[in-house]
Amino acid sequence: MARKLPKKDVVIVGLGWTGSIMAHELTDEGLDVIAIERGPWRDSPTDFPTNYMQDELRYRIRHELFLRPDQTTFTFRNKMDQTALPIRSWGAFMPPNGVGGGGVHWNAETWRFAPSDFVLKTHLTERYGASFLPDDMTIQDWGITYDELEPHYDQFEYLCGTSGTAGNLNGQIQDGGNPFEGPRSRPYPTPAQKQGYGHTLWAKAAAELGYKPFPQPSGNLSRAYTNPLGLRMGPCTYCGFCEWFGCGNYSKASPQTTILPVLIRKSNFVVRDNSEVTRINTDRSGKRATGVTFVDTSGEEWEQPADLVILSAYSMFNVQLLLLSKIGQPYDPAANTGVVGRNFTHQATSSVDGFFDSSKFNFNPFIASGAIGMCIDEFNGDNFDHGPLGFVGGGYLGQVQTNGRPIETTPVPSGTPKWGPQWKTAVRDNYLSSLKGGSIHASFYSYRDVYLDLDPAYKDRLGRPLMRMTIDFHDNEIKAANYLTDKYAEIVKAMGAHQVDKKPRKGPYDITTYQTTHLNGGAIMGADPKTSVTNRYLQSWDVSNLFVLGASAFPQNAGYNPTGTVAALAYWSAAAIRGQYLKNPGPLVHA
């Protein structure tokens, strides 16, 4: 029997980016807020000290900051007729854990989605006709527009101090920025980061081919910055230990550097760490959440009653908690009914390695940051004519080499032996004069047979069914990968590489090799309760005092990194709660 705690106004499940943003907004509103976080408390100077954080073995290879699979994991299969097996060591993605969540160990690439991404189904149908899309593709519009989200993108970028060069200021195209981006109301708060030699040469070659290269928007700051909450950040030192690591230099935007020190000073906020929420409780009608139940590290079960429940865990855990709590109709791909677990997607990244004459090129690849790099956006979204190409979607192409870390930075031309003296010689010869991390960061659209549900066989330590991932690439994504990889290779060739190794994404979807942690969908937002879990404000259609934040809301994934959009949606949802919901609790959209 769970022990009941005193009621709060708001309970927040998961204290990463979205939980921190929501906690800050709702405590500002005067509400009494508790956040319940599965992992430990983490803080910059004590948990990410500059003098041991740069430990590739501990953090990258041994996954120090991530969830331990024996706490909970997922099962995986490519196809619906296969038996899914549990993931016992993380590979394709890294489930975050602990205060700050993925905001601790991200690269801090801070993109906005394109205006057409939010109205994707409508846009593509209008341009190419409905029959152009594959039959089993289940893409849909988001129920909001870029223009509605713009103020909240802006809010997040100014929270983070994002470094970049504007490409479209209030409709005016700007030199040096991304000419394809949606109009932004203000310039970036800080100028773009300085670029390395490799990034610069790549941009020069891209420009000579007629593209418009621009610096990647970066949450690793180009200069010191004080955010609107009064928190101070320092300039990035280009140490090259961003993704997989926390930043002890106060130069990577994270909940720790941009929100938490202010949040924890508030008397109407508390956090309970090392406590795992096991379900959202509802009343007898099933239409109202009464709070959550969680377990602490002693196995003790607690009930935290609250008037408002904010589900802000990692995307797949949001979906799992909805399913375990029996909120919303589970998706059934065979009957094509239900919504929870539907439109699950990931990313479809490809890469190109370039090898250069070591007597002429020295890229010093270790001088880098997680979001450094030069990109082009000509092949993203629908910025190019897909008519003759036979696929939809795309991604940015970027020379975004983020590090030259010793264990993993062993670039060798294809054909080199995998081990032994020849391999060692090739690593030595190519370390400084090769470009790895040629990033093709492409969209992954949604399909009827890519989804999440509760595994019928495997359970976690608490006896709860694991989340089952059924996911594979479809021809559309593979075609896009080949096309974009060829375009990228042309640029590397133009830089003067003597060998160009193309690595287009291939099927089947591989769970063992890291791609990105951008798993999306499963609890998507939309305009119609028959095809979405939440309304446009991320409010559950079924339980109006439950809001579901995070990338689980994406109906499909775009060709950009998701965090900017995840955070902007959290601000958008918070504004709706503050401006509308609290005045008149209940459904904000009547379907």
Partner 1 sequence: MHSRRALTIAACAGTLLFLHPLTWAHAGESDPQDFTLVEKGRSLATAADCVSCHTVPGSGKPFAGGRPIETPFGSITAANITPDRDTGIGAWSDDDFDAAVRKGIRSDGARLYPAMPYTAYAKMSRQDVIAIRAYLNTIEPVRNAVVTNTLPFPLNIRMVMRVWDSLYFTEGEFKPDPQQTNEWNRGAFLVQGPAHCGACHTPKSLLGGDKTSEFLQGSPLQGWYAPNITNDATRGLGNWSVADVTAYLKTGHNRISAATGPMAEAVSLSSSKMDDSDLKAIATYLKSLPGRPENAAKLRPDDPMMMAGSAIYRDQCSACHMLDGHGVPHLFPSLAESSVAHSDDPATLIRLILRGARSVATKDEPTAPGMPSFGWQLSDAQVAAVATYIRNAWGTGTPVTPASVTQARSDLRKRAD
Closest CA to 192 of 213, 153, 221, 158: 221
Non-local CB neighbours of 449 within 8 Å, separated by 6+ positions: 79, 80, 136, 333, 470, 472
261 binds partner 1 (CB under 8 A): yes
| Dist. CA 429–CA 433, nearest whole Å | 8
Q: Specify the residue, 58 or 127, whose C-beta has the smaller distance to partner 1.
A: 58
Q: Specify the residue, 259 or 375, whose C-beta has the smaller distance to partner 1.
A: 259
Q: CA torsion sign, 318 to 322 to 325 to 330? A: negative
Segment contacting partner 1 by CB under 8 A, of 224-232, 338-346, 501-509, 574-582: 224-232
239 binds partner 1 (CB under 8 A): yes
In this chain, which of 230, 388, 421, 463 binds partner 1, going by CB under 8 A?
A: 230
Token pair 């920025």: residue = 177
224 binds partner 1 (CB under 8 A): yes
222 touches 163 (CB < 8 A)? yes
Token pair 């809010």: residue = 155
Q: CA torsion sign, 144 to 150 to 151 to 156? A: positive
Q: CA torsion sign, 36 to 39 to 43 to 46? A: positive
Q: Specify the residue, 226 or 362, whose C-beta has the smaller distance to partner 1.
A: 226
| Dist. CA 103–CA 288, nearest whole Å | 30
**In a 10 Å sphere around its CB, with 0-12 CB exposed, 13-18 middle and 19+ buried, how is residue 416 labelled?**
middle
Q: Specify the residue, 260 or 492, whose C-beta has the smaller distance to partner 1.
A: 260
In this chain, which of 82, 83, 185, 226 binds partner 1, going by CB under 8 A?
A: 226
> In the structure encoding, which two tokens stand for residue 292, read together?
């959550």
232 binds partner 1 (CB under 8 A): yes
Closest approach, Cβ 250 to partner 1, in A, equals 6
250 binds partner 1 (CB under 8 A): yes
In this chain, which of 246, 248, 395, 562 binds partner 1, going by CB under 8 A?
A: 248
Catalytic-role residue among 386, 441, 518, 590:
518
In this chain, which of 104, 203, 233, 548 binds partner 1, going by CB under 8 A?
A: 233
231 binds partner 1 (CB under 8 A): yes
Q: Specify the residue, 249 or 573, whose C-beta has the smaller distance to partner 1.
A: 249
- Tell me if residue 386 is catalytic: no
45 binds partner 1 (CB under 8 A): yes
Closest CA to 505 of 565, 556, 438, 433: 438
Closest approach, Cβ 369 to partner 1, in A, equals 13
Paired strand residues for 287? none
In this chain, which of 4, 40, 49, 364 binds partner 1, going by CB under 8 A?
A: 49
Q: Specify the residue, 368 or 484, whose C-beta has the smaller distance to partner 1.
A: 368
50 binds partner 1 (CB under 8 A): yes
What are the CA-CA distances from residue 503 to residues 97, 345, 352, 406 (Å)? 31, 21, 6, 22
267 binds partner 1 (CB under 8 A): no
369 binds partner 1 (CB under 8 A): no
| Residues near partner 1 (CB under 8 A) | 43-46, 49-52, 224, 226, 229-235, 237, 239, 248-250, 261-262, 265
- Residues classed as catalytic: 518
